[in-house]
């Protein structure tokens, strides 16, 4: 069950360079747009929004309360200050709860493989997210995958093995690898390279003067 997040927002008219003034005043500039939604610049409370957005994935449905009007949306882009690592702008995609959408969902590998636990092999990971299509209300926040049943070298999990539910259509190639147990790399003996000492020619002071 997704945790519900409601972001209080107000419309803004001062854009461009004035956005920095908003940030200094504790406001986070953002924009919300969509197929049936006119692009609307808004501001959020910088502190509250920054804290909540660390827990919100790109497939997590949130609610924007824009001056009393509720809008269902997904976070499409987060711009950060590279020096301070703070949010400077957020793009929200307004969605219709009755129209299907395409989104990328993160894969969350959990547990410890029996093969790894017994030192029979190592776990190699593949895809970290997949693309799906479904109604916004059926969109999973993450896809949790248990790797404990990977017991032998060669055991694997592919996209077709993921538990996505009957209402979610997977658009990614079903044969793409998510996790695989493979042999541990053999430790090779590395021969130390022979380093020849450089020839040092020293001249005495008297010889140099001659």
Domain chopping of the chain, boundaries:
6-94, 101-182
Provide mean pLDDT across the span 116-132.
93
Residue 70 to residues 32, 65, 125, Cα–Cα distance (Å): 12, 5, 39
Architecture of domain 101-182 in CATH?
Beta Complex (2.170)
- Residue 112: the pLDDT is 92
Provide mean pLDDT across the span 6-28.
85
For residues 135 and 191, which has the higher predicted lDDT (pLDDT)?
135
Q: Is the pLDDT of residue 152 over 80?
A: yes
Q: Tens digits of per-residue pLDDT, 180-210?
A: 999 976 544 445 555 555 444 444 444 444 4
- 36-71 burial, b for 16+ CB within 10 Å, e for fewer? eeeebbbbbbbeebeebbeebbbbbbbebebeeeeb
Whole-angstrom Cα Rg for the chain:
27
Q: Are 31 and 40 in contact (CB under 8 A)?
A: yes
- Residue 84: count other Cβ atoms within 10 Å of its Cβ: 8
Q: Tens digits of per-residue pLDDT, 37-72?
A: 999 999 999 999 999 999 999 899 999 999 999 999
- For the domain 6-94, what is the CATH code? 2.40.240.10
């Amino acid at each position: 069950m997704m945790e519900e997040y409601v972001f209080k927002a107000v419309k803004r008219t001062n854009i461009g360079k004035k956005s920095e003034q908003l940030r200094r005043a504790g406001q986070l500039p953002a924009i919300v747009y969509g197929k049936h939604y006119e692009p609307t610049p808004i501001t959020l409370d910088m502190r509250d929004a920054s804290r909540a957005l660390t827990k919100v994935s790109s497939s997590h449905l949130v609610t924007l309360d824009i001056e009393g009007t509720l809008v269902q949306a997904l976070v499409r882009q987060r711009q950060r200050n590279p020096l301070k690592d703070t949010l400077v702008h957020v793009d929200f995609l307004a969605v219709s709860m009755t129209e299907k959408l395409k989104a990328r969902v993160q894969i969350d590998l959990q547990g410890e493989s029996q093969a790894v636990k017994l030192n029979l092999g190592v776990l190699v990971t593949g895809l970290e997210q997949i693309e799906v299509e479904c109604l916004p209300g059926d969109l999973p926040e993450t896809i949790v995958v248990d790797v404990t049943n990977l017991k032998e070298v060669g055991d694997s999990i592919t996209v077709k093995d993921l538990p996505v539910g009957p209402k979610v259509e997977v658009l990614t190639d079903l044969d793409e690898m998510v996790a695989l147990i493979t042999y541990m790399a053999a430790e090779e003996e590395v021969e130390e390279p022979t380093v020849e000492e450089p020839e040092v020619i020293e001249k005495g002071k008297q010889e140099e003067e001659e």
